[in-house]
Structure 1
Amino acid sequence: MTPGTVRIAVDLLGGDDAPDVVVDGALLAMRADPDLHLLLVGPAETAAELVGALDPVQSSRITVRPVRDVVAMSEHPVRARGHSTIRAAVAAVRTGYADAMVSAGSTGATVTAAALGLGRWPGVRQPALVATLPAVAGPVVLLDVGGALEAHPATLSRHAVLGAAFAAVAHGIAAPRIGLLSVGTEAGKGDRARRAADPLLSVGPLPCDARYVGLVEGYDVTLGARADVVVTDGFTGNVLLKAIEGAYTMAGGAPAGVGAPRAAALLGVSGTVVVCHGAAQAADVASGLALAVHLWRRRAIERVSALLTGGEPDDRTDRTTDTEVTAS
């Protein structure tokens, strides 16, 4: 392996239209980044389709881990404990055979498998899925977008800390502004969880010189003028994310210069895990692979974890090379 090499485990059977769109997305990513190596987790005959579409040099960057069992989107997340493609991909990260994993399969199963297989960070009870949205004033980090569906004040408060550290490390946002999503900006607005979380966030502490700006509304997510990080529960965040993506599609695409939010990173587990939508298409899978590569090369997950335990991000230890994966 050369110094710039990154190895990503890909769940071939994850997603509504798998394995076809996963294979096509993997092809896009492989052709875009000569330093990308893939561990294909799924049926050998499906992996053979991807390998057969590559030239000999590219196909030498493919490894296959044959697994036939898949956790269906309708099944309970506990099924991830079995010998499934999701669990095998997590195991590859845990053992160091892969640097990161990408799946468009069951979100609940992926979060469950990652939490059990990789372990959670100290103080994190519920890992969070974090997505970066293109807003008018700059990128906005939104979490949770599907990891923990129930809204609890302590979870919202903890996720604000995760989001602030992620914004600083992954996007270089200095002193990120944190907002709590609600139905109005006046104190006391929102449901019981929001009303209880608001004072918790007001007293902090927050990493990276972050500051809490109070309650924000849905339009603040797409404008980006009031907050760099918007915190909500996974149910509301997932609905909002998909509504925004639908609006981008109606408007002809995301704002210029920023890709649409096609994948989310999992924060709170000891490894780099990226989740794509179940309805992901080839470009979405390629974007998920691009995100996994970006996070691993910047040591983003490790550095966020270090920040939360009193350390500081160190850009000198980035694994970044001149070549980055780009989705097309």
Structure 2
Amino acid sequence: MPERWRATGATAPGQRTVGEPGTARIAVDLLGGDQAPAVVVDGALRACKADPALHLTLVGPADAADAVLAALKPGDRRRITTVPAPSDAVGAAVHAVAEGRADALVSAGDTRAVVLSSARELGRWPGIRRPALTAVLPTAAGRLVLLDVGSSVDPDEETLAWHARLGAAYASVVLRMPAPRVGLLTIGTEPGKGDRLRRALPAQLVDLPLPGGARYAGLVEGGDIVLGRAADVVVTDGFTGNVLLKGLETVYALSGPPSRNTDPPPRAALLLGVSGTVVVCHGAATGPDLAAGIALAADLHRRNSVAAIADLLSAQRGIE
């Protein structure tokens, strides 16, 4: 495991290629998703047309990449790089980030494959054994950070304590929340509610130093996530988080988000705890979902968000 905090892969700085200021070079896994590659081609086209400073590295079958090139104007085709990968497209895409040929990765492929490839190629931050997929949900009060939503389905206490730190840092840096409130998802707000993990963890979270001036706000239930009044960050295991996320997104797709005053966040999650920007979309993602995931990855890169999160966590650990 790397012993230093870093935002990019292990490649030495002299080996990296750097894009023009304001550009974002996103590696896209063309084989990721239930309807791949057609839906990924659709998402890539939407993203490319919406953002003239976007550069895409399309990783996967040559015919799928050719479909994107054929649909673009000649001048826009210069913003497309293709990497043939007939099988392990996600591995090749992660490798492009690790070598500095791309600034971020977007995939709707198998979550386990994305997480393992990213951790192996990019490296994990010190102390992180299991990276967390971190999503943002709309609430009646605004927005809420939920993690984990699919990476660690059977975490231990140490993993969830780290996820509390990661979620607090994400809320502070990306959503600019002052002193985020961190809650633990369980089946009731009374002390002692939940399984063994939820009964044991609150004692640790009460005394756990959290970055960004965050504080532990106690136990929360599913309804608190919709309302958004009890916590700004909610920590849970990847199994429960994934079930909850997909259920809420389906409800919101049918009836609308709980607040009409906030644009709905993208249906994509950032993998926190690895040294690079990795965005994971649902396997059932649509073209617009993929485009939103690509836009999220580009925005995170342009704002240097992953490096800022790493710096905040590193500084916070240094004063513990």
- In the superposition, the TM-score normalised over structure 2's length comes to 0.91
Note if contact 2:266-2:293 (Cα within 8 Å) is conserved in structure 1: no
1:121 to 114, 119, 125: 125
Note if contact 2:138-2:257 (Cα within 8 Å) is conserved in structure 1: no
Quote the offset at 1:253 in angstroms.
5.3
Q: Report the equivalent of 1:104.
A: 108
Matched residue of 1:214: which SS? Answer: strand
After superposition, the Cα gap between the structure-2 partners of 1:274 and 1:174, relative to the gap in structure 1 and judged at 3 Å, is: same
| 1:33-61 Cα distance to aligned partner (Å, 9 max, x none) | 00000000011111000100000111110
Quote the offset at 1:138 in angstroms.
1.2
Quote the offset at 1:2 in angstroms.
2.7
d(CA) in 1 for partners of 2:81, 2:184: 43
d(CA) in 1 for partners of 2:255, 2:147: 24
Q: Report the equivalent of 1:76.
A: none
d(CA) in 2 for partners of 1:92, 1:275: 16
Quote the offset at 1:311 in angstroms.
6.7
Of 234-243 and 252-261, the range deviating more from structure 2 = 252-261
Matched residue of 1:116: which SS? Answer: helix
Note if contact 2:142-2:259 (Cα within 8 Å) is conserved in structure 1: no
Aligned: 1:56 with 2:61 = no
| 1:255-277 Cα distance to aligned partner (Å, 9 max, x none) | 43322541000000000000000
Q: Report the equivalent of 2:200.
A: 196
In the alignment, residue 222 of structure 1 is paired with which amino acid? V
Displaced runs of 4+ in structure 1, greater than 2 A? 252-257
Quote the offset at 1:304 in angstroms.
0.8
Q: Report the equivalent of 1:225.
A: 229
Matched residue of 1:2: which SS? Answer: coil
Using the aligned pairs only, state the percent identity.
57
Any stretches of 5+ residues in structure 2 without a counterpart? 1-18
| 1:117-175 Cα distance to aligned partner (Å, 9 max, x none) | 10000000100000000111111000000011103111111100000000000000010
Aligned: 1:45 with 2:49 = no
Q: Report the equivalent of 1:77.
A: none
Matched residue of 1:202: which SS? Answer: helix
Of 245-254 and 216-225, the range deviating more from structure 2 = 245-254
Q: Report the equivalent of 1:310.
A: 315
Note if contact 1:41-1:88 (Cα within 8 Å) is conserved in structure 2: yes
- In the superposition, the TM-score normalised over structure 1's length comes to 0.89
| 1:298-324 Cα distance to aligned partner (Å, 9 max, x none) | 111111111111179xxxxxxxxxxxx
1:263 to 251, 254, 268: 268
1:277 to 278, 282, 295: 282
Any stretches of 5+ residues in structure 1 without a counterpart? 70-83, 313-328
5 Å matches for 1:83-94?
Answer: 84-94=88-98
Question: How many aligned residue pairs are there?
Answer: 298
